[in-house]
Amino acid sequence: MRALTSQDYDNIQAVISLYLDSLEGMGLELTVETDMAGWADVMRSAPKMSLLNPTFDPSESHLHPGNSFWLRLRYEGQTVACIANRLFITDDYIGLKRSFRLWYDLKPVLVRQPLNIVLPEDVPHISGRVGHHGGLWVHPDWRGHGLAGTLPRLTRALSMRHFDVDWHCGAVLKHIADRGLPLKAYGYPHMDVCIDGYFPVTDKNETVYMGWITRPEILKQFAEWVQPATLEPAETAAA
C-alpha cells in the first residue's frame, strides 16, 4: 500500500471542501456523527425507507468511533438525508459476506441457506483496510438534487482521511443497479453482481451488486475531482 503523500492529503481535503461548499450552497448543514444509534433512529422513521441495514445498526454489529461514522444532512433543522460508513480490517472482505459477519457480528445468525456468491473471477481479492458504505437515504422532497451522488463521494473522501482505506465498497439491490447509480452517481468504476439468491438483510432472494474501487483509483479520482468543473457529475446525478 502506497502511503499518502502531502499532495494526496491536499486533494482529499479539497474534495471535502468542494462538497461542503456545494451542500452549503443548497442551504444544507452537514454533521459527521459516530453515534450509530442515531443513524438507526433516523432510518427507522425515514419516509419511504423500509430497510435498516444491520451493518450499521449497533444492535446487530460492533460499532465504535474507530470503525464507523455517519453523515447527516439537515435543512432548517430537519434531517433530509444520511449515509453510513464502516471500516473492516480483514484478510477476506468477501469472506465476511459468506460468514454473514459483514451484516451481523454481535450474535449468531440463523442461516437459512448459504450465500450464493457469483462475483466474476477477474474481481481482485479484497483485503486489508476496507471502507464499506451503505444506509443511504434521501428524503422524497430532496430527491433529484444530486444528494445520492454527493454523499457516497464525500463519504469515500472522509473514509480515506479518517481510516486510510485500501478499498472502498458498497452493495445495492438490483433496482438501484439497473439505474446505474453505483457507476454514475456514487463514482464506483466497478460494479459486479455479487450475490444471486438468498440475502439475509431482506430475508428473501435478491440480486445484489457490489460497487468497488481500489486505493490507487480513489486517489486518482480525488486528483481529478479537484480540477475545475469536475464536481458536476455528482451534482447532476439522479437521486
CA distance 81 to 75: 9
Residue 6 grid coordinates: 502531502
Q: What is the pTM of this model?
A: 0.93
CA distance 238 to 127: 31
CA distance 238 to 141: 13
The label of the residue with cell 452549503 reads 24
Ordered DSSP codes for 120-178: -TTSPPP-EEEEEEEEEEE-GGGTTSSHHHHHHHHHHHHHHHHH--SEEEEEEEHHHHT
State the pLDDT at residue 235. 40
User: How confident is the chain (239 residues) per 10-residue block, as mean pLDDT?
Assistant: 93 96 97 98 91 95 97 98 98 96 85 88 98 97 96 98 98 96 97 96 95 98 83 42
CA distance 12 to 24: 18
User: Which of 215, 165, 210, 216 lies closest to 190, judged by CA?
Assistant: 210
**Helices 147-163 + 6-25 axis angle, to 10:** 150
State the pLDDT at residue 236. 37
State the pLDDT at residue 233. 44
Residue 214, helix vs strand vs coil:
strand
The identity of residue 180, as a single letter, is: G
The identity of residue 229, as a single letter, is: A
Distances from the Cα of 231 to the Cα of 19, 128, 143, 218, angstroms: 8, 29, 18, 15
State the pLDDT at residue 231. 54
Q: Is 135 left (phi over 0), alpha (psi -120 to 50) or beta?
A: left
Neighbouring residues of 18: CB distance < 8 A, sequence distance ≥ 6: 225, 226, 231
State the pLDDT at residue 1. 77
Query: What domains, with CATH codes, occur in the chain?
Result: 6-232 (3.40.630.30)
Say if CB 103 and CB 200 are below 8 A apart.
yes
State the pLDDT at residue 49. 82
